[in-house]
């Protein structure tokens, strides 16, 4: 069986984790709630890079416990997890040698989060996967998307791609064991040659690592459908849908629009029934706690699967 079958037949349900410096802000800036998804706060509020870097000095999640997180994930019945190694904010949640803007070198906390989670995932039999923002990077002078610190005419995406994306993807695919898939996102500016280069690069480093559809230009090993979407009929080719429990991916203290546990059980069974994979998101807070509503939802799905999902 190839890697795609292993995923899309044996591992239908995964947990997505959005965690980064934005989690510390919790969707609030200068006393008010940001109107959009919390992990977009830097762009939405046009927070200067120098200002945003200061959040790293506040990042010290005393309640982060990789085993406890993964234990919750395993209990839900999920068989894979996808963690943000670097989101659009540009902050690496692992010890990168490519940029000092990472969790080990830029925080008091100083622990390699991706490393700890990769070890815990292995222990619980959860396939470990990584999210990497390969196009938008609001911190890097040549990444896409920051027009409040940098002038677009001074930017050269090739520099970002060659000096940041490829070296960081190499670190991630050589430093943390076997990676089930790498989840790229928002291919707004990347050209087809570079999407292809990146896709090949992943497969050269780890032939069994899947590449999701959002690498751009319809490349990648399977398609990603719109967030929270469920097609009306069976789709035979491998696909996945990412799903939120409230209306934000990153932790947002003022977003209490939680879906009911039974609603999410219906989403899960609907998606799997149409041939898809369900990637359900949690957004831990800045102290490393998984919101209690999310724990409850994961528990409910786990009980439902234990009753109804076993042969």
Binding positions for ligand JFZ, rule: CB under 6 A: 37, 39-40, 185-186, 226-227, 242, 249
Of 171 and 224, nearer to ligand JFZ (C-beta) is: 224
Of the candidates 120, 128, 148, the residue with the CA atom closest to the CA atom of residue 83: 128
Least distance from C-beta 136 to ligand JFZ, angstroms? Answer: 7
Q: Give the residue at shortest CB distance from ligand JFZ.
A: 226
- Which C-beta is closer to ligand JFZ: that of 36 or that of 109? 36
Quick one: 186 or 303, whose CB is closer to ligand JFZ? 186
- Whether 9 contacts 79, CB under 8 Å: no
What are the C-alpha distances in Å from 68 to residues 60, 63, 64, 97, 286? 17, 10, 8, 28, 16
d(CA 129, CA 124): 14
Judging by DSSP bridges, how do beta strands 13-17 and 276-282 pair with one another? parallel
Closer CB to ligand JFZ, residue 8 or residue 16? Answer: 16
CB of residue 4 to ligand JFZ, shortest distance in Å: 21
**Spatial separation of the C-alpha atoms in residues 226 and 231, rounded to whole Å:** 10
What is the closest distance, in whole angstroms, from the C-beta atom of residue 40 to ligand JFZ in the complex? 6
Q: To the nearest whole angstrom, how small is the minimum distance from the Cβ of residue 36 to ligand JFZ?
A: 9
- Given a contact cutoff of 8 angstroms between Cβ atoms, the answer to whether 84 and 21 are in contact is no
Cβ proximity to ligand JFZ, 181 vs 305, nearer residue: 181
What does residue 213 show for φ and ψ, rounded to 5 degrees?
Answer: -70, -20
Question: Shortest gap between Cβ of 245 and ligand JFZ (angstroms)?
Answer: 13
- Judged on CB neighbours under 10 Å (0-12, 13-18, 19+), 103 is buried
């Amino acid at each position: 069986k190839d890697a795609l079958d292993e995923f899309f037949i044996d591992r239908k349900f995964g947990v997505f984790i959005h965690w980064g410096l934005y989690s510390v802000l919790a969707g609030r800036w200068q006393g008010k709630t940001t109107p959009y998804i919390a992990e977009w706060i830097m762009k939405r509020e046009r927070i200067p890079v120098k200002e945003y870097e200061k959040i790293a000095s506040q990042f010290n999640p005393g309640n982060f416990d990789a085993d406890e997180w993964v234990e919750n994930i395993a209990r839900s019945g999920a068989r894979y997890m996808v963690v943000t190694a670097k989101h659009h904010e540009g902050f690496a949640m692992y010890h990168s040698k490519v940029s000092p803007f990472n969790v080990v070198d830029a925080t008091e906390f100083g622990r390699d989060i991706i490393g700890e989670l990769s070890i815990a995932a292995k222990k619980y039999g959860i396939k470990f996967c990584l999210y990497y923002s390969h196009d938008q990077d609001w911190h890097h002078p040549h990444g896409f998307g920051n027009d409040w610190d940098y002038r677009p005419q001074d930017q050269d995406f090739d520099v970002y791609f060659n000096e940041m994306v490829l070296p960081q993807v190499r670190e991630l695919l050589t430093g943390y064991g076997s990676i089930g898939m790498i989840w790229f996102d928002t291919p707004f500016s990347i050209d087809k040659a570079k999407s292809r280069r990146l896709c090949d690069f992943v497969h050269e480093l780890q032939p069994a690592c899947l590449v999701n559809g959002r690498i751009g230009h319809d490349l990648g090993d399977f398609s990603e459908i719109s967030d929270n979407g469920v097609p009306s009929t069976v789709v035979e080719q491998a696909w996945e849908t990412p799903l939120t429990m409230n209306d934000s991916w990153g932790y947002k203290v003022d977003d209490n629009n939680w879906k009911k546990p039974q609603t999410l059980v219906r989403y899960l069974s609907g998606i799997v029934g149409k041939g898809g994979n369900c990637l359900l998101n949690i957004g831990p807070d800045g102290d490393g706690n998984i919101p209690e509503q999310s724990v409850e939802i994961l528990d409910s799905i786990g009980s439902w699967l234990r009753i109804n999902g076993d042969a």
